[in-house]
Amino acid sequence: MSGRASGSNLLDVPVRVDVILGEARIPMEKLSAMRGGEVIALQKSINEPVDIYVSDQLLARGRLIISNGQLGVKLSEILDEKQAA
């Protein structure tokens, strides 16, 4: 058996998927004074698509949904290489 993985084996490899909900810039003084229950406002509207990264590469965008009581993401756009750059 060779040391190379076949294509079907590569499809079985788990990859990390990160969904970026938004970002915020907060002065360190305010951040260090925050307590439980406070809200950090993100620089994104609830209706804007979220970015989906696979192994640190922007791959898609989607909308947040609730499915069977769990938070999920419904894919709305798969990006090509130019869009992901």
Alpha-carbon gap, residue 85 to 68, rounded angstroms:
34
pLDDT number for residue 2: 52
79 touches 58 (CB < 8 A)? yes
pLDDT tens for 1-25 read 455 556 678 889 999 999 999 999 9
**Tens of pLDDT, residues 36-77:** 999 999 999 888 999 999 999 999 999 999 999 999 999 999
Please say whether the structural domain 19-84 has been given the CATH code 1.10.10.1100.
no
pLDDT (0 to 100) of residue 5: 56
